[in-house]
Structures are given as structure tokens and as C-alpha cells.
Amino acid sequence: MAHAGYNYSPITKSAEALITRFGEEFTFTRTTDGAYNPATGSVAQTTATYKKYACVFDYTDADRAGQTVLQGDRRMLAEGHSYEINDTVVIGSDIFKVINVDEIRPNGSDIVAANLQVRK
């Protein structure tokens, strides 16, 4: 349980430093829908990219024993950011989609880091 008034800033800085040191920088892409255009019958989409550091791990057989982790899924321990389901990230030459975001935010507001489950 988080302690009221505790300053998590040093922990956040340490997490970022470790992820930057042992991870690598990845480019994420987020596509959002805009307004519906009745003249064309379509919705305009906006695409934005952002770069964040992360460490990439394979899931274990024990992780895959359930039904939420599939063969080929990867886990990313990423620096604090507001990641969203369906953001994409390039790992090597493959494009993965973020399918689960588990934010590490001990005080309920500051995101120290995030565990991302990504899938091809």
C-alpha cells in the first residue's frame, strides 16, 4: 500500500535510469480516430509516434500456462508513460500490438514504469 505523501520521484528516476541503461529505445505508434465525415462515410485517423526505453523479455512456460499469454507474446518493462491498448511497437523487424498495460504507480498518480504485454 502506498504511503500518503511519500515522494516517489527518486524511485521513478532510478527506474528510468535502469531501464535506459539495460534496455533500448523503441518507437511506439498510436492511431486515434477523429470525427466521422458523412461526405466520405469514413472516419479520419491521426497517427502519432513516441519513443520510450524498455527491456524486452520472453514469457516463461508457466506464464503461458494460462490463456492470456500466447506463444510469441513478449513482455516489455517500459519507462513510465501513458501506454494504451492497441499502440504498436517495432521489436527487431516485427510489429507488435500492445494488448495489456499494467502500470506501476504506487501513489496512484505517478507512473514509475509499466509492464506491457505485446503480440504480433
* Domain boundary assignment for the chain: 28-36+44-119
The answer, yes or no, to whether residue 114 has pLDDT greater than 80, is yes
* Over residues 96-109, mean pLDDT: 90
Task: Output the pTM of the full model.
Answer: 0.84
CB 15 within 8 Å of CB 53: no
pLDDT at position 64 over 90: no
